[in-house]
Structure 1
Amino acid sequence: MNERQKRFADEYIRTANAYQSAIRAGYSEKYSKNNSHKLLENSGVKSYVEARFKELEKQAIAQQDEVLQFLTSVMRGEEVDEENIVVPKGDFLSDVEKHTKRADTAQRIKSAELLGKRYAIFTDKQEITQRNIDINIGEYDDDSED
């Protein structure tokens, strides 16, 4: 894959528009109009675009450790929220101020509950005993050929 194809692929990943991506990568307008779809079919460009999409997808989705760390920080009250509060300033005047606050108790309990479910802390232990049941239906004789 040459440098211009790489620029095309990077632009295509950003815009999802083959025609504009080809022009921005340095291809002529005539070539871009008629052949930009062929660039996407090029095996080198295609594999590069697919690899970059997978990489970007991994970055966009929270991993298990990240979720557990976030829940733990909420449970411990380390996360703060911003809220807008209307503050009166006199006759018919008021301002909106941003204030930060720790996660409230309900949010902290919910985080603890979700962590507890993850680690099976709250599961009820049940003891199950196995019982063998013999069922006899009528008489059976291996030797008879009825």
Structure 2
Amino acid sequence: MTEKQKLFCDEYLKDLNGTRAYRAIYKNIKTDNAAGVRANKLLKKKDIAEYINKRLEEIHNENTADIQEVMEYLTSVMRGKSLSSVLSLAGDGYQEVIEKEPDEKEKLKAAELLGKRFGMFKDNVDITSNGKTVIVDDIDEG
């Protein structure tokens, strides 16, 4: 892979727009149509596709929370150990940024999400039937 092709790949990874990436790196291209056709050809090359897929996986791993991270975060919110920065009135019209623990509503939501994850809140409705309806008339008429 040439240096320009690598630059094209890195530019392409910004927004996955091959035409824009091609025009940004290859300045001699006059039209979007020509840039799109050439970008498409580049993206079909094996080494370029492998490089882009490898970088996409790295970006995904760096930026995406895994299940353990989500569970740890929800647990810290539920237990009130998580802090968030909020604006608070400081008097005379001034505001300041303070660290705040989760309130009861936030803790409840975190507990609910954790409970759903562990299947604690399933509505089990038994609708088994043999398909026959039986009406029992046991009202005393006298």
Same fold, TM-score > 0.5, yes or no: yes
Q: In structure 1, what residue type is equivalent to 2:117? A: R
Q: Would you say the 8 A contact 2:4–2:25 is kept in 1?
A: no
- In the superposition, the TM-score normalised over structure 2's length comes to 0.65
Q: What do the CA deviations read for 1:32-87 (whole angstroms, capped 9, x no partner)?
A: 44764424422032442244234424543332222111111101111112221222
Where do residues 1-146 of structure 1 align in structure 2 (5 Å cutoff)? 1-14=1-14, 16=17, 17=20, 18-22=22-26, 29-30=27-28, 32-33=29-30, 36-37=35-36, 38-42=38-42, 43=45, 44-89=47-92, 94-123=93-122
**Percent identity for Structure 1 against Structure 2:** 30
Larger radius of gyration: 1
Query: Pairwise CA RMSD of aligned residues?
Result: 3.2
Q: Distance in 2 between matches of 1:33 and 1:49?
A: 25
3-state SS of 1:103 partner: coil
Q: How many residues align?
A: 122
The TM-score normalised by the length of structure 1 is: 0.63
Task: For structure 2, list consecutive stretches of 5 or more residues without a partner in the other structure.
Answer: 132-142
Asked if the contact 2:81–2:101 (Cα under 8 Å) also holds between the matched residues in 1, the reply is yes
